[in-house]
Amino acid sequence: QVQLVESGGGLVQAGGSLRLSCAASGRTFSIIHMGWFRQAPGKEREFVASIAWSIGSTYYTDSVKGRFTISGDNAKNTVNLKMSSLEPEDTAVYYCAATRKLVGHSQLEYEYWGQGTQVTVSS
């Protein structure tokens, strides 16, 4: 089993930056992809970014390209999401997720989830 705990959420002004972190524990050796998802009020959970745990390749949804950066530290069993140029539209609960599958761009592919951390961007 894999346990995930997010941290770093909070309130930030539009145009500001925020860094989220996710600490993984348990059978982390089984993880192939780790990702970040978000769910805004009244909307479904959507993919934000992912990283291949061992290889390091990354993928981003179009709306965050150039503004968000996902990174991982295998030694510390952590994955981070650095967010810059934040917009009110980025306001959501952000979730860290992990999967043992070979693809990791869809919510349906992820098996392990954190509890979520709130990110609120004010205008």
Dihedral angle over CA of 87, 89, 90, 91, nearest 10: 110
From the list 20, 26, 24, the residue with the least C-alpha distance to 4 is 24
Note the pLDDT tens digit of each residue in 15-41: 999 999 999 999 988 899 999 999 999
Joined tokens for residue 46: 């959507």
Q: What is d(CA 65, CA 21) in angstroms, rounded to the nearest whole number?
A: 19
Note the pLDDT tens digit of each residue in 90-111: 999 999 999 998 876 788 999 9
